[in-house]
Amino acid sequence: MWALPLVLLLILGVVVIIFYAERKLSAFMQDRLGPMEAGPYGTLQFAADLLKLLQKEDIVPAAADKMLFKYAPLVIFASVLAGFAVIPLTPDLVPSGTPIGLFFLLAIVSLDVIGLLMAGWGSNNKYALLGAMRSVAQIVSYEIPAGLAILSVVIIGQSLDLQEISFQQGVHLQQFPGYAQEVNYLFGLKELGIDVTHVGGILSWNIVRVPLLSLGFIIYFIASLAECNRAPFDIPEAESELVAGFHVEYSGFRFATLFLAEYAMMLLVSLVAVILFLGSWNTPFPNMGPVRLADWTTGTLGAWSGNLWAFFWLVNKALVLMVVQVWLRWTFPRMRVDQLMHLCWKILTPAALVLVLIAAVWRLLMI
């Protein structure tokens, strides 16, 4: 019942952190200082910006399709927010623990593009429309390599339930209903005969369990950057050609909503990457003999300690990924639209297809 406010709180908290971090990190990477005036070291800059956005006039262009224009930010934010419904935050807390969570997530987040088209078309501005078309083309294209990379995880994990995939990657494996007899072998290979079920840590993460999935992680990560319109794939924003993409006509709180949706999308794709590839809410430390690092940093399943540790690991791994997103943004120049499509269709998609094939073979070896 209180999953929605909790998720909203999580989104807003992480957005505040990453919004500040992005400004500071980008400044430091460019030998600047970043915000310094509002609050100590500019920590209150986000509050100042929010206040500024809130008191701006809410402009709706006279010739705009008012209905589409006004509801587009809502559709965009709602579709991203709905994606959070199936994200397991801790072993006990998942807003909606449906067995087809991953499928639902991919489907509902795709609704994002309808919101983008609504915004672009409703603005009655050719720049906004062009920006929306580019945005949509990009997101639709990149869903294919992202979907294939996710598919390879599904093949390995044999599940669409994000909570089940999370349990597979840690020391709590046998506590999941129906998993009492399951065993995690090193690299997933029974032939090697090294049982790591109770070692846990990084050894049971998907990228180590099936080392090929680290390639899948890279494919997914690149595609996810494009999905949330982050640099170097932020061609919808290409300011030299398109002013500011599909949201050029938006002001005030509507713009803030679009902005929040972008950052929420960053968080969502990072969370999905963490859950699918980087051990979800499981600790990175393995048990080593008497040094029970994994047990110490996992807590007890069902107790406060278990939930807090799980939340801590999940959010921190996602934050690390978001810092990488920021790092990439401030390093790489924006790609041209043809380079973007070249990367998607000629490199990532074939690579992901091969990955799916190999993942299927690997799954056979795991039995």
Partner 1 sequence: MENPQEKIGSLQRRGFWRDLQSLWQGLGLTWRHLFQARERRSPLHIADPNYFQQDTGVVTLTYPYESLPVPENGRYRLHNEIDDCIVCDLCAKICPVDCITIESVKATEEIGETSDGTKKRLYAPVFDIDLAKCCYCGLCTTVCPTDCLTMTKVYDFAEVDIKNMIYHFTDLTPEQAEEKKKLWADQQEAIAVAKAEAMKARQQQKGE
3-class secondary structure, 214: helix
Based on CB atoms, which residue is closest to partner 1, 218 or 293?
Answer: 218
Please state the closest distance from residue 267 (CB atom) to partner 1, in A.
Answer: 22
Binding test (CB under 8 A) with partner 1, winner from 4, 8, 33, 47: 33
What are 323's two structure tokens?
Answer: 């810092």
Q: Does 57 bind partner 1 (CB under 8 A)?
A: no
Going by the DSSP 8-state scheme, the letter that residue 288 receives in this structure is B
Is the torsion defined by CA of 299, 199, 314, 163 positive or negative?
negative
Which region, judged by CB under 8 A, interacts with partner 1, from 24-32, 72-80, 160-168, 206-214?
24-32
Binding test (CB under 8 A) with partner 1, winner from 25, 111, 114, 319: 25
Binding test (CB under 8 A) with partner 1, winner from 327, 354, 358, 363: 327
| CB proximity list for 252: less than 8 A, separation 6 or greater | 53, 54, 55, 56, 57, 58, 59
Angle formed by the axes of helices 112-122 and 126-157, to 10°? 180
Q: Does 38 bind partner 1 (CB under 8 A)?
A: no
Say how many C-beta atoms besides its own lie within 10 A of residue 255's C-beta. 19
Give the Å distances, CA to CA, from 10 to 87, 90, 264, 277. 12, 13, 10, 21
Strands (DSSP E) along the chain, which ranges?
none
Q: Does 328 bind partner 1 (CB under 8 A)?
A: yes
What are 73's two structure tokens?
Answer: 């930010």
Q: Does 30 bind partner 1 (CB under 8 A)?
A: yes
Based on CB atoms, which residue is closest to partner 1, 35 or 200?
Answer: 35
Q: Does 43 bind partner 1 (CB under 8 A)?
A: no
DSSP per residue, 114-131: HHHHHHHHHTT-HHHHHH
Based on CB atoms, which residue is closest to partner 1, 296 or 332?
Answer: 332
Q: Which amino acid is at 220?
A: Y
Q: Does 331 bind partner 1 (CB under 8 A)?
A: yes
Please state the closest distance from residue 342 (CB atom) to partner 1, in A.
Answer: 12
Residues numbered 198-257 forming contacts with partner 1, rule: CB under 8 A: none
Binding test (CB under 8 A) with partner 1, winner from 179, 312, 330, 345: 330
Please state the closest distance from residue 42 (CB atom) to partner 1, in A.
Answer: 11
Please state the closest distance from residue 36 (CB atom) to partner 1, in A.
Answer: 6
Binding test (CB under 8 A) with partner 1, winner from 107, 300, 332, 361: 332
- Neighbouring-strand partners of residue 291: 288
CA distance 186 to 123: 54
Please state the closest distance from residue 332 (CB atom) to partner 1, in A.
Answer: 6
Q: Which amino acid is at 46?
A: F
Binding test (CB under 8 A) with partner 1, winner from 1, 2, 5, 31: 31
Give the Å distances, CA to CA, from 179 to 91, 162, 165, 171, 174. 15, 15, 12, 12, 5
Going by the DSSP 8-state scheme, the letter that residue 344 receives in this structure is I
Please state the closest distance from residue 155 (CB atom) to partner 1, in A.
Answer: 26
CA distance 203 to 207: 9
Based on CB atoms, which residue is closest to partner 1, 327 or 345?
Answer: 327
Which region, judged by CB under 8 A, interacts with partner 1, from 29-37, 43-51, 72-80, 171-179?
29-37
Q: Does 341 bind partner 1 (CB under 8 A)?
A: no
CA distance 105 to 103: 5
Residues that bind partner 1 (CB under 8 A): 25, 27-33, 36, 327-328, 330-332
